[in-house]
């Protein structure tokens, strides 16, 4: 009997059966078929426990949602306290929480971003960004990257891989042209008709396995945007909040975007919230028709409290220093593992604690993911490039936990290399 | 089971992250070489020395305690002075004891939590930070709230100097807003490896009660015995100077003068000649009433100068008075003048002979100051020996002012701002705190059977030199400046070939060429392995 106060299950098997029956049959089956029988139960810091009681180090973090760890005590305390005074709030009116967070976000952001609009999740935030760009530029086209991922809402899904847009008959290639990543001539080609409202870029495309922008690429894209009168939207959902060793990854490129989107980790993993930071130009609609985008839960005041605390923690000089230490140790540790398996573990894409580990097999990351799972580490393959494992250590990890993680990772990578399926496919 | 050290993690918020950052820094520092450590310690000591006056002045201004010129002296002693004292000493390189077949490998404590007092603020910051760095520890300074600003500023200065000299980021940190609950949490947190507690009894007891390793020291109440064999004129000079040092705010300043009757009048005359005002019975009572109004020390007098105290007590003394001497008759706890005064007021009692003097010193230390220090002015080694054996203190300074004697500034004791009071003084430390107390040694011990030889260890060191910032800045891995995998043999080969051809090719050609050579070599190698 597993008793969770609000509900209970007799067994994990019963739970999985009901999950397939009432919730999502395909997703439930997908993980069973993948050899990942995970049902997350207890969670604390960077550790998860399966319903079976098995402990896992979490380096998936649900895309950075748990950047500060699961149930970060400071965020939990802030939200608990806030619940004695606040609730979701009322989006119609000037709001205490939304205003306080907006000020903090603007203060933290690259120059030129002066206004904040709120969403209840990253997809909605991307929709707001795209709508803002269209309104400001009075143009429809949005250029994104092939294999981009910006969420699943109406406009956001159209910027991404057609796997998700076609499923729901939501692909609109004429309004949402895509260009290959790191291909400047293609980008220029797409922009030079001057009919593009904005280019949307993840600073490092996460779901595509964190391929790194070539040195100078993002800077050149920004210059092209200026040349052809398009806005630059920095999707910082996965690269923001100190994951690259600076609060916003885009600042490492010296870029001042017209729009910056934050989500996932902004919630502290406790209360959903996402935010769009807009320049005066991009946020013009906020002066014209403030009811232009309405979101009951967007910027819920409890979420604002979670985000304020998250932002405060992430900006501490101590935390920035810790992230640099973690990145340093993880990077050097992985390079050592790589030296043992140069033909199998063929690449390390790293910017801070954003990492993509490349393996020499079309689905290499799935093998490594399974071995890691067996060895008590949860990391996920990249949906849009399963050669690459997403490897995302938290920004508050302790030295001991990083060392333990590296030990487990080294073993998992060599076990995956020895998997007969891997050697067969590699040879062929 | 959280991912934390074994024990409670009690420090909230930013201060908790300070400890966490210190752990990372300590982890990195643990692999630094002796050369690295010397360079860092020298840089920090130099900058501390260069700012000795500034912080002496600041400390007096902020706390109202002490004398600037004396604090300058201590700040210098606790910066370059420490370099001189420990020159040539090495707490980093493994030590090989060939005859014992033992090799000792140093292991730093890790994160040192350094509590610093209000009375001796910046000198103690300098002292503890430099000791921690000599032994490759990270240090978090928690200043006394009264001296918070000068100490925090000084710690930041040392932190910058350390990192500029190559120390790991975060190796020296300090608490900007110390409060009692925060300091208690820092002490009890398992991420603190050792607490260095210098301060009041309360904080020292709390350090020992924290559950963490702690080095805390007890209070002083220093008796000084002058016997009939002493050189009275010199003694008087030394006594007055020592008692006036830093307005007697130190735990090492003399508290009670015990003088053999035979030389008492002469000593009084000589002391008056060099700036002491020896009070009559009425003035002594006025002083008692002002200083101990309800039986306890009036903290207003702490670290103030003699003229101010005399004026407040309603006593007329000369303008150049440095020390007030208040005679009393019986060394018992209800006599206020037997207690620690933290001001340039010296109790004085006359005794018929040296033996009574020793018994009186015992009585003084029984009241307070066990395990701390006592001083004696004498030319008779038997008396000195009897004094040392009978009075339960752990240092006896002879023919020297005790304030700079016990602290090692004018003796060959280890110069220190932290005086171990030993078991008798409820402390784990019986010596003057010094670098060796902040490092453990892993001992490699060979079979003692002569048949089992120990191989040569000379020159073997597990540490390495650090030239670049630690940690490195997180550049993207495709940035040319980012660290790479160690070059393989193939790369080395390509480099050799490349060196011959690179002069006439562009970098793009070079990359393509390298890739081509790499492929050829890998192919060849795989044929070799298969064949």
Question: pLDDT tens digits, residue range A309-357?
Answer: 999 999 999 999 999 999 999 999 999 999 999 999 999 999 999 999 9
- Predicted pLDDT at A309: 98
Model confidence at B522, pLDDT cuts 50, 70, 90, reads low
Q: Which residues of A touch B27 (CB under 8 A)?
A: 325, 399
Angstrom distances, CA of residue A350 to CA of A327, A329, A345, A372: 8, 12, 14, 19
- Is the CB of A52 inside 8 Å of chain B's CB atoms? no
Residues B270 and B396 placed together within one structural domain of the fold? yes
For residue range A210-231, list pLDDT tens digits in order. 999 999 999 999 999 999 999 9
- In this structure, are residues B500 and B480 in contact, taking their beta carbons and an 8 Å threshold? no
Place of tokens 């140790």: A329
Closest to B237 (Cα-Cα) out of B349, B408, B403, B400: B400
Task: Give the CB-side neighbour count of residue A423, counting CA atoms within 13 A.
Answer: 7
Q: Under an 8 A CB cutoff, do A328 and B472 touch?
A: yes
Domain assignment present for A1:
no
Is there a single domain that holds both residue A217 and residue A296? yes
| A118 & A145 share domain | yes
Residues whose CB falls within 8 Å of the CB of residue B490, separated by 6 or more in sequence, listed in order: B518, B521, B522, B525
Which of B58, B22, B53, B212 is closest to B133 using CA atoms? B22
**In whole angstroms, what is the distance from residue A278 CA to residue B52 CA?**
50
Q: How far apart are CA B384 and CA B380, in angstroms?
A: 6
Backbone φ, ψ for residue B64 (5° rounding):
75, 5
CB B315 within 8 A of CB B286: yes
pLDDT above 60: residue A275: yes
Does any domain span residue B451? Answer: no
How would residue B516 be classed by pLDDT, with cut points 50, 70 and 90?
low
Q: What is the mean pLDDT of residues A16-23?
A: 97
In a domain, B418, yes or no: no
pTM: 0.91
Same-domain check for residues B213 and B244? no
Residue A423 pLDDT exceeds 80: no
Condensed to tens digits (0 to 9), the pLDDT of residues B12-31 reads 788 899 999 999 999 999 99
Model confidence over B373-401: pLDDT tens digits? 999 999 999 999 999 999 999 999 999 99
Same domain, A294 and A150: yes
Q: Which residue is it, tokens 């370099």? A: B83
Asked if residue B209 and residue B60 are part of one domain, the reply reads: yes
> What percent of chain A has a predicted confidence (pLDDT) above 90?
95
Residue A394, pLDDT > 50, answer: yes
Domain span at residue A168 reads: 74-314
- CATH code for the domain of B61: 3.40.605.10
Chain B residues touching residue A326 (CB < 8 angstroms): 24
State how far the Cα of B405 lies from the Cα of B420, in Å rounded to an integer.
Answer: 14
The answer to whether the bond into B293 is cis (omega within 30° of 0) is no
pLDDT digits (tens, 9 = 90+) for B288-301: 999 999 888 999 99
pLDDT of residue B505: 46
Cβ proximity of B334 and B301 under 8 Å: no
* Residue among B13, B19, B24, B519 with most chain A CBs within 10 A, to mutate: B24
Hey, which residues does B102 pair with through a beta bridge?
B97, B445
Last residue of a domain, one of B404, B422, B440: B440
B21: which chain A residues are within 8 Å (Cβ-Cβ)? 318, 321-322, 325
Q: Do A398 and B3 touch (CB under 8 A)?
A: yes
Q: How far apart are CA B271 and CA B267, in angstroms?
A: 6
Q: Does one domain contain both B230 and B375?
A: yes
The number of C-alpha atoms within 13 Å of A412 and in the hemisphere containing its C-beta is: 26
The answer to whether A215 contacts B480, with C-beta atoms less than 8 Å apart, is yes
Instruction: Please report, for the domain that includes residue B242, its CATH number.
Output: 3.40.309.10
B1 belongs to a structural domain: no
CATH of the domain at A193: 3.40.640.10
Tens of pLDDT along B58-77?
999 999 999 999 999 999 99
A417 belongs to a structural domain: yes
Whether residue A182 is contained in a domain is answered as yes
Q: Is B452 on the interface with A (CB under 8 A)?
A: no
Residues A299 and A235 in one domain: yes
ipTM score over 0.90, yes or no: yes
pLDDT of residue B8: 78
A74 touches chain B (CB under 8 A): yes
Residues B254 and B403 in one domain: yes
- Mean pLDDT, chain A, as a whole number? 96
Using CA atoms, how far apart are residues B35 and B33, in angstroms rounded to an integer?
5
Residue whose entry in the numeric block shows the structure tokens 């089992």: B452
Residue B11 has a pLDDT of: 80
Asked if A399 and B24 come within 8 Å (Cβ–Cβ), the reply is yes
> Which domain-ending residue is among B404, B421, B440?
B440
Label residue B513 by pLDDT band (50, 70, 90): low
pLDDT score for A101: 98
Write down which residue in A314, A345, A361 finishes a domain: A314
Side by side, which strands form the sheet with A345-351? A345-351, A354-359, A385-391, A380-382
B468 within a domain of the structure (yes/no): no
**Residue A427, pLDDT score:** 47
Together in a domain, B238 and B198: no
A129 and A157, same structural domain? Answer: yes
Structure-token pair, residue A117: 């609009």
CA-nearest of B29, B171, B42, B163 to B107 is: B29
Structural domain count of chain B: 3
Question: How many Cβ atoms from other residues are within 10 Å of residue B479's Cβ?
Answer: 14
Residues A122 and A108 in one domain: yes
Residue B465 lies in a domain: no
Same domain, A322 and A304: no
Clarify whether residues A165 and A301 are in a common domain: yes
Provide the 10 A C-beta neighbour count for residue B35. Answer: 14
Counts of helices then strands in chain A (DSSP H, E): 15, 17
pLDDT of A71 strictly over 50: yes
Query: Taking residues B258-282, what's their average pLDDT?
Result: 97
Give dist(CA B73, CA B52) in Å, integer. Answer: 8
B12 vs A: CB within 8 A: yes
pLDDT of B500 = 44
- By percentage, how much of chain A surpasses pLDDT 70? 99
A97 and A143 part of one domain? yes
Instruction: Give the CATH number for residue A387.
Output: 3.90.1150.10
Q: Could you tell me the two tokens for B261?
A: 């009757």
Give domain status of residue A5, yes or no: no
The DSSP 8-state label assigned to residue A288 in this structure reads H
CA angle B169, B173, B178 (to 5 degrees): 155
- Separation in Å, CA of A339 to nearest CA in chain B: 7
Regarding whether A66 and A202 lie in a shared domain, the answer is no
Q: Say whether residue B8 is in contact with chain A using an 8 A CB cutoff.
A: no
DSSP lists the bridge partners of residue B444 as B103
Q: Are residues B199 and B227 in the same domain?
A: no
State yes or no: is B151 an active-site residue.
Answer: no
Domain for residue A6, yes or no? Answer: no
Asked if A242 is an interface residue toward chain B (Cβ–Cβ < 8 A), one would say no
A181 backbone φψ class: left, alpha, beta (φ>0; ψ -120 to 50):
beta
Better pLDDT: B518 or B126: B126
| DSSP codes, B47-96 | HHHHTHHHHHHHHHHHH--S-HHHHHHHHHHTTHHHHHHTTT--SSS-EE
Q: Is residue B236 part of a domain?
A: yes
Give pLDDT, residue A207: 86
Domain span at residue B517 reads 489-530
Per the structure, the count of domains in chain A is 2
Structure tokens at B108: 């730093």
Helix (H, G, I), strand (E, B) or coil at B175: coil
CB contact B2 to A (< 8 Å): yes
**B244 shares its domain with B195:** no
Question: Residue B98 pLDDT > 70, yes or no?
Answer: yes
Claim to verify: residue B200 and residue B233 sit in the same structural domain: no
- Predicted local distance difference test score (pLDDT) of residue B501: 46
> Per the CB < 8 Å rule, is A339 touching B20?
no
Top pLDDT among A13 and B508 is at A13
Which residues of B285-359 form beta strands (DSSP E)? Answer: 323-327, 345-351
CA–CA distance, A334 with A348 (Å, rounded to integer):
8
Compute the half-sphere exposure of residue B443: CA atoms within 13 Å on the CB side of its CA: 9
Q: With contact defined as beta carbons under 8 Å apart, do B377 and B224 qualify?
A: yes
In the 3-class helix/strand/coil scheme, how is A93-155 assigned residue by residue?
CCCHHHHHHHHHHHHHCCCCEEEEEEECCHHHHHHHHHHHHHHHHCCCEEEEECCCCCCCCCC
Helix (H) or strand (E) segment spanning residue A354: strand A354-359
Q: What is the mean pLDDT of residues A95-119?
A: 97
Catalytic residue among B78, B150, B151, B251: B251
pLDDT above 70 as % of chain B: 90
Q: Nearest-CA residue of chain B relative to A314?
A: B14
Query: What is the spatial distance between Cα B226 and Cα B376, in angstroms, rounded to a whole number?
Result: 6
Whether residue B452 lies inside any domain: the answer is no
Domain end, chosen from A295, A314, A333, is at: A314
Band of residue A301 on the pLDDT scale cut at 50, 70, 90:
very high
The verdict on residue B279 lying in a domain is yes
Considering only alpha carbons, which residue of chain B is nearest residue A252? Answer: B475
Q: Which chain A residues in 209-228 lie under 8 Å from chain B, judged by CB atoms?
A: 212-215
Whether B488 and chain A come into contact, CB under 8 Å, resolves to yes
- Same-domain pairing of B201 and B56: yes
With a CB cutoff of 8 Å and minimum separation 6, the contacts of B72 are B52, B53, B56
Same domain, A272 and A298: yes
**In a shared domain, residues B212 and B339:** no
> What is the reported pLDDT for B506?
54
Q: In the predicted model, what is the mean pLDDT of chain B? A: 91
Please indicate, yes or no, if residue A3 is contained in any of the structural domains.
Answer: no
Say what the pLDDT of residue B294 is: 87
- Domain boundary (A298, A314, A330) is at A314
Whether A143 and A256 map to the same domain: the answer is yes
């Amino acid at each position: 009997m597993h008793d969770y106060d609000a509900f209970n299950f007799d067994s994990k098997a019963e739970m999985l059966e009901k999950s397939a029956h009432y919730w999502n049959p395909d997703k439930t089956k997908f993980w069973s078929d993948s050899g990942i029988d995970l049902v997350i139960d207890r969670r604390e810091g960077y550790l998860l426990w399966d319903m079976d009681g098995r402990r896992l180090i979490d380096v998936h973090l649900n895309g950075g949602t748990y950047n500060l760890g699961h149930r970060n005590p400071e965020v939990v305390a802030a939200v608990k306290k806030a619940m004695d005074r606040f609730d979701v709030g009322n989006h119609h009116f000037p709001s205490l929480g939304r205003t306080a967070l907006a000020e903090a976000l603007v203060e933290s952001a690259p120059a030129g971003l002066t206004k904040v609009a709120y969403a209840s999740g990253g997809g909605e935030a991307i929709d707001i960004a795209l709508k803002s760009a269209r309104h400001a530029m009075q143009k429809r086209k949005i250029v994104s990257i092939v294999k981009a991922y910006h969420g699943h809402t109406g406009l956001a899904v159209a910027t991404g891989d057609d796997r998700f847009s076609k499923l729901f008959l939501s692909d609109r290639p004429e309004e949402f042209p895509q260009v290959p990543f790191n291909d400047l001539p293609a980008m220029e080609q797409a922009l030079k008709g001057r009919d593009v409202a904005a280019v949307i870029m993840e600073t490092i495309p996460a779901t595509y396995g964190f391929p790194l922008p070539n040195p100078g690429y993002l800077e050149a894209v920004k210059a092209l945007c200026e040349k052809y009168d398009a806005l630059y939207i920095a999707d910082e959902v996965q690269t923001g909040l100190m994951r690259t060793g600076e609060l916003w990854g885009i600042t490492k490129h010296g870029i001042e975007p017209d729009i910056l989107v934050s989500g996932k980790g902004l919630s502290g993993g406790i209360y959903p919230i996402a935010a769009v930071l807009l320049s005066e130009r991009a946020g013009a609609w906020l002066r014209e028709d403030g009811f232009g985008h309405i979101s009951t839960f967007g910027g819920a005041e409890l979420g604002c409290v979670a985000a304020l605390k998250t932002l405060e923690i992430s900006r501490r000089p101590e935390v920035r220093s810790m992230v640099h230490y973690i990145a340093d140790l993880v990077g050097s540790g992985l390079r050592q593992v790589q030296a043992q398996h140069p033909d199998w573990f063929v690449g390390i894409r790293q910017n801070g604690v954003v990492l993509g580990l490349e393996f020499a097999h079309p689905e290499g990351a799935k093998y490594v993911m399974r071995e890691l799972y067996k060895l008590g580490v949860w990391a996920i393959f990249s949906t849009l490039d399963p050669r690459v494992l997403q490897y995302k250590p938290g920004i508050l990890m302790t030295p001991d936990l990083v060392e333990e993680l590296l030990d487990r990772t080294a073993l998992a990578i060599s076990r995956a290399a020895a998997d007969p399926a891997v050697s067969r496919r590699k040879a062929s | 089971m959280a991912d934390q050290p074994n024990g409670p993690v009690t420090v909230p918020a930013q201060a908790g992250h300070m400890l966490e950052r210190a752990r990372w820094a300590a982890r990195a520092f643990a692999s630094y070489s002796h050369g690295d450590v010397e360079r860092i310690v020298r840089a920090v000591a130099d900058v501390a020395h260069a700012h000795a006056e500034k912080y002496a002045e600041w400390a007096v201004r902020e706390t109202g305690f002490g004398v600037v010129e004396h604090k300058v002296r201590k700040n210098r002693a606790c910066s370059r002075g420490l370099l001189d004292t420990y020159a040539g000493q090495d707490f980093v390189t493994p030590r090989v004891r060939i005859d014992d077949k033992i090799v000792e490998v140093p292991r730093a404590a890790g994160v040192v939590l350094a509590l610093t007092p209000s009375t001796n603020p910046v000198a103690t910051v300098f002292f503890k930070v430099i000791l921690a760095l000599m032994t490759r520890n990270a240090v978090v300074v928690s200043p006394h709230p009264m001296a918070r600003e000068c100490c925090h500023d000084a710690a930041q200065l040392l932190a910058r100097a350390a990192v500029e000299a190559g120390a790991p980021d975060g190796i020296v940190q300090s608490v900007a807003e110390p409060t009692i609950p925060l300091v208690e949490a820092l002490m009890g947190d398992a991420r603190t490896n050792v607490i260095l507690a210098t301060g009041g009894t309360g904080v020292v007891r709390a350090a020992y009660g924290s559950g963490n390793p702690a080095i805390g020291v007890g209070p002083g109440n220093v008796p000084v015995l002058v016997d009939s064999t002493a050189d009275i004129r010199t003694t008087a000079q030394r006594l007055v100077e020592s008692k006036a040092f830093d307005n007697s705010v130190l735990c090492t300043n003399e508290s009670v003068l015990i003088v053999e009757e035979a030389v008492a009048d002469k000593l009084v005359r000589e002391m008056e000649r060099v700036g002491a005002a020896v009070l009559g019975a009425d003035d002594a009572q006025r002083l008692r009433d002002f200083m101990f109004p309800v039986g306890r020390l009036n903290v207003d007098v702490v670290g103030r100068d003699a003229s101010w105290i005399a004026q407040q007590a309603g006593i007329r003394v000369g303008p150049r008075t440095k020390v007030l001497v208040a005679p009393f008759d019986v060394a018992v706890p209800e006599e206020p003048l037997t207690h620690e005064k933290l001001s340039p007021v010296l109790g004085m009692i006359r005794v018929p002979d040296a033996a009574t003097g020793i018994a009186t010193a015992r009585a003084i230390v029984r009241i307070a100051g066990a395990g701390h220090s006592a001083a004696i002015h004498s030319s008779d080694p038997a008396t000195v020996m009897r004094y040392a054996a009978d009075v339960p203190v752990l240092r006896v300074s002879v023919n020297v002012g005790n304030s700079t004697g016990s602290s090692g500034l004018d003796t060959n004791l280890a110069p220190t701002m932290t005086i171990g009071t030993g078991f008798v003084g409820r402390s784990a430390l019986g010596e003057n705190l010094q670098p060796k107390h902040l490092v453990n040694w892993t001992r490699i011990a060979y079979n003692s059977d002569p048949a089992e030889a120990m191989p040569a260890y000379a020159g073997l060191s597990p540490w390495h030199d650090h030239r670049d910032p630690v940690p490195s800045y997180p550049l993207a891995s495709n940035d040319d400046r980012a660290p790479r995998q160690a070059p393989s043999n193939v790369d080395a080969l390509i480099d050799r070939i490349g060196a011959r051809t690179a002069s006439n090719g562009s970098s793009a050609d070079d990359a393509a060429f390298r890739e081509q050579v790499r492929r050829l070599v890998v192919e060849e190698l795989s044929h070799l392995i298969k064949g």
